[in-house]
Amino acid sequence: MPAIKDEKHYVNIKAGRFRVFFRKRYRLITTLNDILIGFLFVLGSCLNFFQATANFGNVAYLLASFTLTVRPILKLIHNSTLRNEMKDKDSYNINKTYKNYSR
């Protein structure tokens, strides 16, 4: 069973010889993504007022919807890291890691 620790700036999950760190603070790319989403939806709304530009408005809506779908993936990528515990051999103890699995 993975051990989960809630620290001040991150949550770390230790599973076997790996440790995954999730940072709690937002990154610049997520904020820029949110601004882009807002811009595309406003642009799509304005372009849909006129018949000649309605198709471009629909494209802007589609791009904004796609960007909304990518948003949680970006948050996971930028707020997590994966570390190999075997590189830090002094802090890694295989018996401690697998003692819960032995019966």
| Chain segment 14-71, per-residue pLDDT in tens | 777 777 776 655 556 677 788 999 999 999 999 999 999 999 999 999 999 998 988 8
Residues 6 or more apart from 88 whose CB is under 8 A from it?
Answer: none
Q: What angle do CA 14, 18, 86 make, to 5 degrees?
A: 125
Cβ atoms of 49 and 62 closer than 8 Å: no
Structure tokens at 56: 């471009």
Cβ atoms of 68 and 75 closer than 8 Å: no
In this predicted structure, what is the pLDDT of residue 33? 81
Taking only the tens place, the pLDDT of each residue in 72-103 is 887 777 667 666 766 656 665 655 554 454 44
Amino acid identity of 97?
Answer: T
**Where do the structural domains in the chain lie, given as residue ranges?**
3-93
Handedness of CA 71, 74, 79, 80 (dihedral sign): positive
